[in-house]
Structure 1
Amino acid sequence: MGSKPWLQPAPSYNPLETYWDTEDDAPGPRCAHTLTAIAPTKSHGPRLILFGGATAIEGGASSPIPGIRLAGVTNSVHSYDVLTRKWTRIRPVGEPPSPRAAHAAAVVGTMVVFQGGIGPAGHSTDDLYVLDMSNDKFKWHRLVVQGDGPGPRYGHVMDLVAQRYLVTVSGNDGKKVLSDAWALDTAQKPYAWQRLNPEGDKPSARMYATASARSDGMFLLCGGRDTSGTPLADAYGLLMHRNGQWEWTLAPGVAPSSRYQHASVFVGARLHVTGGVVRGGRAVDGEAAAAVLDTAAGVWLDRHGLVTAPHGSKGQTEEPALELMRRCRHAAASVGVRLYVYGGLRG
């Protein structure tokens, strides 16, 4: 594949000064949490919702299957106002989910849906919890879902596809690393999970991958750690055809690095990937710490442009913008053309 000089390289990242009224309003140090973007409403600008995660960790940044050795696991909710850069602690009414980390979250309109994870008592249930922010009133409720579902798991991924289907893939159920895929149609009641049997090139079993849905309905699975603990560098797109059949497609291009416990989010057709770790729990470093998969062009990019071969280890970079992304178990979200990254563990 020839060079494409018109492709913009991966962006730089800079610290953002934020504000809060009390210490309780600020999330503080956090890892294995979720960060989701809520579109503006008539009464409120765009917001980021941070939920759960751990405030401390025992041992190293990476741990073997099945334990993740997180401490101070919480179920607190914090809202970040993108326009004012202000954090606020939210205390929704209703029964909250149990404290959890390594869970998954997806936005459905003015609601955020949470599933799975692991907490002080072990695996969280596979119940779907909804944080409803309609009319700027915060309320928890548990979604009633009929039939069998994905089951308890952590280190999995979930997003809303085609503004309609909640899709969850992979993870770890405490006994094994998973490769299954499930979908829930949010437009059809009673709600029910459907186990998918997609055609095409199916991804291997993995955990600690990332996934993000493109605006046209493609669900992109990126990286992760396989059953042997090996970090993965591949990416797969999952798309539903008009006849209702789902299909996996292996994404083209050469990834800058294998990785897991990273973060990824779409802006347009570009999947922005930050951080993560490789084998041994060492942070992804150098130019690979911030990468982009341009799904329109079918190429991976770093800050210098087109990636033609995986990057070798270069040790810690002196470039401050890249050094900021040497982290794992963080979370990311996008609002417009801006990318927001919060928390995690330094490599």
Structure 2
Amino acid sequence: MLLEKLPAHVLRDVFGFLSAGDVARAACACKTFKQVARSESLWRKLLSEKLGSQASIVLPKTLPNERYPHGDMVVEPAWKEMFQFWMNPGPNSYSWMEHAKGEELENRGKFAARYLHRCTAIGDGNKILLFGGQGSGADFFNDLHLLDLRKKSLQLEQLDAAGDPPFPRCSGTLTAVSVTGIPGSEVVALFGGSQGFFEGFSNSLCILQGDENVSISDAASQHKGLTWREPLVVAADPEDGVPDARWGHSAVSWNGKLVLFGGSNTQHCFNDTWVLDVGLNPREPESRRLLATWKKLKLGNDARPPSRAGQTVSLVGDALYVFGGCHISDVFNDLWRLDLGVRVPTWERLDVAGTPPAPRVGHAAVVLGDRIVFSGGRGSPTAGASGTYATADQGLATMQGLTFFEGGFAMLDISRGTWMPIQHPNRNNHVYLRGEDDGAVDMEDAAMEDEVWEHRTGHVMVPAKDGLLVIGGLAYNGEFQNDVQHIRVF
């Protein structure tokens, strides 16, 4: 039986195993293959594979006709057009989301303006927990908020948790991890941080848990059943001990474990890598107190990133990617990779094609499939690097000698090994929403606030419907932010 004689739905399944390039080549073979290659579901599947686990969060269920118009045999299928857009976006392809599109960004629960707060996704990735940060007047926070991406009206909802709350802090890490020995379990680990550079640093570890038989995701949604607990902390190797007190470090969740890199305190700047395993406590089997075991990662050679803080660490597959950060007055834009999937990991400095972003610290990063998207931060503009920054006549413009970079988005394409051109989102008809300390929302003229939210540092960024959300941060004019900005990618 000839392949082209197979039913269309079978051919679509077969084509689903091909790459986009192979689909395009197969379409040239015959009319039947050409028709199958025009399947909307096929191109949606190919795009979803590119975006990985984030596809269910960021991809819309249907496409807006004005951006990806459907057509007849002459016009490309809409999902194929979106695939091509993702692979090779044109200049200014992203846009600040218009309020008229139905995305009502609200702020509830007294989420005070702040920066250097932290966040982590829980459950299926559609719920975001935010913790801590620093506000004006040297205010430090230890409040906990939930952002549920599934809701049509996005709200920052304050959560209450039982137990002894962690001390107020900024620049720690908040990471969702599994409990070894309990399949499907999830807790959130809060590590380190500080109340300012001269106020001391912490290496304390706090665990946020759901009540027994209640997942942390369900407990957050129900606004009850959350508890902060201190685990029993031990070292896998007594000679290595546990990580020193620090801030400005980074952490990701890998195979249910926390992987920690870098950071600094008043005495040291670090480039060490640690793995934290959270499991049941055999010493207290009847209690809910967990056992947290720190293990310093043994590396295969002496190569490693220079010591730094304020960098981003992103996990793509089994590989860590470290970008940027600073060590005293040295600000970096180097890129390093550590493959955790091998028996003896080794650091490798990457020399990728394209123009790298300018050196920076305090930026944000988010993974979308095989790409890492970076935004904001402060740094030192250099020749041969890309980035637009605030000039001396704009507010503070510089702080501690470092300039503020604007709201452009740099993208690292991992699969193709290249930096893509920076995206500067279109701001036409954008409606700016700012959450006040009392939970109210004011809608202001975008032009009046244009330069405020473009340049920021210490913010967080997460995947969301149609694109990304940027939350909070410190603007170049010295104002702390508590806004939620929606950037439309798709």
Task: Calculate the TM-score normalised by the size of structure 2.
Answer: 0.57
Within 2, Cα distance between the matches of 1:55 and 1:113? Answer: 23
Contact in 2 for aligned 1:78/1:88 (Cα 8 Å): yes
Within 2, Cα distance between the matches of 1:13 and 1:212? Answer: 24
Q: Return the letter of the residue paired with 2:227.
A: K
Contact in 2 for aligned 1:117/1:123 (Cα 8 Å): no
Q: Return the letter of the residue paired with 1:180.
A: D
Partner of 1:185: 277
Q: Return the letter of the residue paired with 2:146.
A: S
Task: Give unpaired runs (5+ residues) of structure 1.
Answer: 58-70, 306-317
Alignment of 1:237-248 (within 5 A): 237-243=337-343, 245-248=344-347
Q: Does 1:232 align with 2:332?
A: yes
Q: Secondary structure at the match of 1:159?
A: strand
Moved more, 337-346 or 94-103: 337-346
Q: Secondary structure at the match of 1:116?
A: strand
Q: Secondary structure at the match of 1:97?
A: coil
**What is the CA-CA distance between 1:233 and the residue it aligns to?**
0.5
Give the direction of change, closer, same or farther, for the CA distance of 1:246–1:129 in structure 2 (3 Å limit).
same
Moved more, 191-200 or 80-89: 191-200
**What is the CA-CA distance between 1:264 and the residue it aligns to?**
0.7
CA-based RMSD of the aligned residues comes to 2.9
**What is the CA-CA distance between 1:199 and the residue it aligns to?**
3.1
Partner of 1:65: none
* Equivalent position to 1:143, from 231, 235, 259: 231
Partner of 1:61: none
Alignment deviations for residues 320-347 of structure 1 (CA, whole Å, 9 cap, x no partner): 9997442101112224763221111112
Q: Secondary structure at the match of 2:230?
A: strand
Partner of 1:315: none
Alignment deviations for residues 131-182 of structure 1 (CA, whole Å, 9 cap, x no partner): 2242412211122221221121011111112x23311111112212111111
Report percent identity of matched pairs.
24
Partner of 2:208: 131
Partner of 1:283: 404
Contact in 2 for aligned 1:111/1:131 (Cα 8 Å): yes
Within 2, Cα distance between the matches of 1:87 and 1:152? Answer: 30
Q: Secondary structure at the match of 1:255?
A: coil
Alignment deviations for residues 256-301 of structure 1 (CA, whole Å, 9 cap, x no partner): 2111010111111111100010142211248xx3101111111111
* Equivalent position to 2:129, from 40, 49, 67: 49
Within 2, Cα distance between the matches of 1:257 and 1:156? Answer: 20
Give the direction of change, closer, same or farther, for the CA distance of 1:79–1:171 in structure 2 (3 Å limit).
same
Task: Calculate the TM-score normalised by the size of structure 1.
Answer: 0.79
Q: Return the letter of the residue paired with 1:39.
A: G
Partner of 1:342: 471
Choose between structure 1 and 2: higher helix proportion: 2
Partner of 2:348: 249
Of structures 1 and 2, the larger Rg is shown by 2
Give the direction of change, closer, same or farther, for the CA distance of 1:188–1:167 in structure 2 (3 Å limit).
farther
Partner of 1:98: 167
Task: Give unpaired runs (5+ residues) of structure 2.
Answer: 1-83, 98-102, 179-185, 220-224, 236-240, 282-290, 381-400, 425-446, 477-490
Partner of 1:328: 457
Q: Return the letter of the residue paired with 1:49.
A: L
Partner of 2:308: 206
Partner of 1:67: none
**What is the CA-CA distance between 1:236 and the residue it aligns to?**
1.1
Partner of 2:361: 260
**What is the CA-CA distance between 1:51 and the residue it aligns to?**
0.4
Contact in 1 for aligned 2:319/2:341 (Cα 8 Å): no
Aligned residues: 305
Give the direction of change, closer, same or farther, for the CA distance of 1:106–1:304 in structure 2 (3 Å limit).
closer
* Equivalent position to 1:19, from 81, 106, 116: 106
Contact in 1 for aligned 2:172/2:191 (Cα 8 Å): yes
**What is the CA-CA distance between 1:17 and the residue it aligns to?**
4.0
Contact in 1 for aligned 2:201/2:265 (Cα 8 Å): no
